[in-house]
Amino acid sequence: SEVLLEELDHVGPATAQKLKDAGFTTVEAIAVSSPAELATAAEIGESTAAKIILAARQSADIGGFETGDMVMERRKLVGKLTTGCTEFDEMMGGGIDTQAITELYGEFGSGKTQVAHQLAVNVQLPKEQGGLSGSVVIIDTENTFRPERIKQMVEGLSEKYGQEYDPEEFLKHIHVARAYNSNHQILLVDSAMELANELKDSDMPVRLFIVDSLTAHFRAEYIGRGTLADRQQKLNKHLHGLQKCGDLYNASVIVTNQVMSKPDAFFGDPTKPIGGHIVGHTATFRLYLRKSKGDKRIVKLVDSPNLPDGEAIISVTTPGLRD
Ligand code: ADP
Ligand code: MG
């Protein structure tokens, strides 16, 4: 059923090869690219590139308008991924939505990476246990993915459900890539899509995309006001690529964003997330994490299209997230 690049209008064998060499290996990757980007990659004119993108969008059926009943059909498929915590799940209306971007923001050590690890485990569970019977793709920008931590959490599941789970099996369904800079991070979304496409009809399709951290590279690379607009534009495009991943594969998308606590109040709201409004407007759900006593964390739902704002208390423990 998969459409080959060569089958698209305006794509000959030579162009197809150039596109593949440049990392555009799927119709979906082309469908979400920009004419300028594609033109450079395949050494073609921008108007040809635009035509190819249009053909790809039509072929991938992701480009244009949908009628309300189509949106309704797609919305019916929205899945809920359990966090493993009762209050947290309830606050989210049953769990983390698929077809949506959920942003976790908070200070260093607030538990963003821990939540991401737990979701990478939980997504693999069957529906009866709150999972999505799926695999996960992690774009790791800070080198904080730890297989040992996954193992602890899977052991924690065995304890919780009184049933044996094999950590090795869980690790096999977690696909991790390190991103070395923001450009690499953006390109990895195309690779993630490619992988999701490969696994689409398998028994463990990709149902979760994680970018941890979404903003660290961008923040490090774009210092000073002059390049702020440029940074926001790139971040915006990156998020739209991620949203496509969520929509196309009926997957949850988790992004993390570190905020700084600034002792000097003149610099504004200390809990203001990096990436500011761009992330804010593109993420569907925004969760603000902060430390509380001991292993407790407060998760606040800040912004949601269909749920009331709320707070949930969770515990980050060695066997995983708990009430
Ligand atoms: P960030 O928001 O910066 O990503 P993390 O998710 O990495 O923060 O949270 C780190 C915190 O998670 C640690 O300070 C500790 O409280 C907790 N934590 C990490 N690993 C474990 C573990 N194996 N057992 C219990 N708590 C842990
Ligand atoms: Mg982290």
pLDDT digits (tens, 9 = 90+) for 7-28: 888 899 999 999 988 888 888 8
Q: Where are the domains of the chain?
A: 5-60, 72-322
Per-residue b or e along 45-72, where b marks 16 or more CB atoms closer than 10 Å to that residue's CB: eeebbbbbbbbbbebbebeeeeeeeeee
pLDDT score of 70? 77
pLDDT score of 14? 92
Helix, strand, coil percent content, the chain, rounded in steps of 5: 45, 20, 35
Which fold would CATH assign to domain 5-60?
DNA polymerase; domain 1 (1.10.150)
Residue 183 φ/ψ, nearest 5 degrees? -65, -45
Please tell me the residue having the least CA distance from ligand 1 atom 1.
Answer: 109
Amino acid type, 271 = T
- Residues pairing with 299 in the sheet: 289, 312
Residue 92 has pLDDT above 90, yes or no: yes
Percent of the chain with pLDDT over 90: 63
Which ligand 1 atom is at minimum distance from the Cα of 289?
2
Which ligand 1 atom is at minimum distance from the Cα of 117?
6
Q: Could you tell me the distance, in angstroms and rounded to a whole number, from the CA of residue 146 to the centre of ligand 2?
A: 11
Amino acid type, 278 = I
This complex has an ipTM of: 0.99
How many other C-beta atoms can be found within 10 angstroms of the C-beta atom of residue 73?
11
pLDDT score of 30? 87
Which ligand 1 atom is at minimum distance from the Cα of 114?
6
Mean pLDDT for 310-323 is 97
From CA 188, how far away is CA 177, in angstroms rounded?
8
pLDDT in tens, 218-243: 888 877 655 677 787 788 889 989 99
Mode of pairing for the β-strands spanning 80-81 and 96-97: antiparallel
- Residues pairing with 136 in the sheet: 174, 208
Mean pLDDT for 74-99 is 95
User: Which overall architecture, per CATH, does domain 72-322 show?
Assistant: 3-Layer(aba) Sandwich (3.40)
pLDDT in tens, 183-207: 999 999 999 999 999 999 999 999 9
